[in-house]
A and B are shown apart, each in its own frame.
Chain A
Amino acid sequence: MLMPRILTALVLLVLAGLALFVADESWWPYIVLGVVALAAWEWPNLYGMRAEMLKISYSLVVVSCVWSLWQLNLASWLYGLVFIQLLAIGFGVWRYQRAQGQVYLYQNIYVAMALGAIFISALGLALIELRLAYSVWVLLYAMALVWIMDSGAYFAGRQWGKRKLAVYVSPGKSWEGVWGGLALVALFALSVILSGGLDYLSAGQDLNIIAFVGWSLVVAFISVGGDLFESLLKRQSGIKDSSRLLPGHGGVLDRVDSLLIALPLFWVGWVWLLA
């Protein structure tokens, strides 16, 4: 199991490197649309829907959503999308915990499909906007926040984990893990500032350092919610992975679950941090 996992990770790393640093910037939106297509194709799996025609049509619908939002200059829709995401995550996790897992949430097919379109469109649009309106470095910084949060939480949780975060949604997660992750994120944000990396991100513009660290922490914290949200949907359908596209890793959605809310949210803050 470990070998395919590492191989897949290597292949993904090379592909990401090509997409971010070799391919011309003008290709980026189409690469993102490709990722969006795969993620949207997997979304019905979270509800146990496996009809291929349905999945493909749904994927096309979501791709055209992202395409239109991008072409029609509708980046400001991210405000609304993020708002709905936060509500859906907050309510979902809270309700599921209250009911001790004895409840089925977001099962109405229209709600389910709308949620997928909103979450995946928001991610796609944020991926495009963060890179094209700012830079590769801003995008990578936002993604690094999530990965660092993930890893910090994993190790801190294993070491000190006691108080469960949301035991019915994701029994492995603990508050101690969250604090550990946030501590590591704070360290990362500070090291970016101290190493002068901030200039790369802000392209020389003034940036409030306290707001920068603060927002990084907020995004990292909320990113756990994205993770929990996908876990919740998978748990309800009794599946472990969103698909088997990535040997050893599960599906595309499993890879980007924390990014679903984190990148759009980061965008909202970043726009104003630089203002």
Chain B
Amino acid sequence: MTNQSNQFLSDENVHLPKHIGIIMDGNGRWAKKRFLPRYVGHQKGRNAVRKIIEAAMNRGVHALTLFAFSTENWRRPADEVSKLMAMFLKALQKEVDTLHKHNVRVRVIGNKQGFSEDIQAYIDRAEKLTQHNTALHLNIAANYGGRADIVTAVQNWQQAHPDLSIDALTPDALHPFLSLADLPEPDLLIRTGGEQRISNFMIWQMAYAEFYFTATLWPDFDEAELDLALASFAQRQRRFGQTGEQVAQC
């Protein structure tokens, strides 16, 4: 067993996830059901993000990672992509100061070079401004893909250890080079919108995450829905490959 998982088992707060990952799915369908254009669904989705950040903080969650935009989402219609980008920029411009005020640390994971210079500048600003905040670690996965995350980690490991052979690479050795290595790994993954797959979201880090799927579309996901997910998580016994008896002894 790695130190990582022992740290989980010995924690007394085992019933509350430390790090929640969320795949925020269903904005487009939410809008379509109401005869509204898709971008309105994304707007409403942004409101849901606000609510959930606040709720996560109130419940004492340590880290929250939101899957906002995957490397595959560029394949959507150009018009929707440009609207999403405009919305992302607006959110960075408007929300970051509020988050900072509430002592939230904001980070963006994923390939930032894919974004416009404007957006990159605001991401930089947000990360620098909030880097010492501690109340909640809020991570936005944007232009993110889990496989690319692993490949980049391997490349960075190689750069950091130019003299070592690839045979020396172990999971534990790779760990510090992955996204968000300084945070506990996500122990709960929530996916809204009814789909039940991981869609290349932090696939390495989610190795032991509990999955929670709900048909609720993201704009309708609120505090009560989050509590349902937390309750479901609290009931589960997390064994990390050990037997139930072993876990009970810890």
Contact = CB atoms under 8 A, between A and B. Distances in A.
Interface of A: 73, 75-76, 79, 132-133, 203-206, 271-272, 274-275
Main secondary structure of the interface of B (DSSP, over half): helix
B166 interface: no
A199 to B, nearest CB: 12
A272 B34 CA distance: 13
Contact of B39 (A75, A132, A275): A275
Contacts of A205: 82-83, 86
B37 interface: yes
A275 B36 CA distance: 9
Contacts of A76: 34-36
Interface of B: 34-40, 43-44, 47, 79, 82-83, 86, 90, 219-220
A272 B37 contact: yes
A271 B36 contact: yes
B35 A73 contact: no
A206 B38 CA distance: 15
22 contacts: A73-B44, A73-B47, A73-B220, A75-B36, A75-B44, A76-B34, A76-B35, A79-B35, A132-B47, A133-B40, A133-B43, A203-B86, A203-B90, A205-B82, A205-B83, A206-B79, A271-B36, A271-B37, A271-B40, A272-B37, A274-B37, A274-B39
Nearest to B82: A205
Nearest to B50: A26
A135 to B, nearest CB: 9
Nearest to A79: B35
Chain A at the B interface: SS class: loop
Contacts, number: 30
Contacts of A204: 86
Nearest to B219: A73
Given A133-B43, A205-B83, A275 B37 contact: yes
Contacts of B90: 203
A71 to B, nearest CB: 9
Contacts of B35: 76, 79
B53 to A, nearest CB: 13
B206 to A, nearest CB: 29
A79 B43 CA distance: 18
Max chain B C-beta neighbours (<10 A), residue from A75, A76, A206? A76
The 5 closest A-B pairs by CB, nearest first: A275-B37, A76-B34, A133-B43, A76-B36, A73-B44
Nearest to B33: A76
Given A73-B220, A271-B36, A272-B37, 18 more contacts: A73-B44, A73-B47, A73-B219, A75-B36, A75-B40, A75-B44, A76-B36, A79-B35, A133-B40, A133-B43, A203-B86, A203-B90, A205-B86, A206-B79, A274-B37, A274-B39, A275-B37, A275-B38
A204 B82 CA distance: 10
Contacts of B44: 73, 75
A133 B220 CA distance: 16
Interface centre among B40, B44, B86 (most CB of A within 10 A): B40
Contacts of A133: 40, 43
A79 B38 CA distance: 16
A1 to B, nearest CB: 44
Contacts of B34: 76
Contacts of B86: 203-205
A24 to B, nearest CB: 9
B125 to A, nearest CB: 19
A79 B35 CA distance: 9
Nearest to B46: A133
B168 to A, nearest CB: 50
A275 B28 CA distance: 13
Contacts of B83: 205
A203 B43 CA distance: 13
Contacts of A79: 35
Contacts of A272: 37
Contacts of A203: 86, 90
Contacts of B220: 73
A73 B220 CA distance: 8
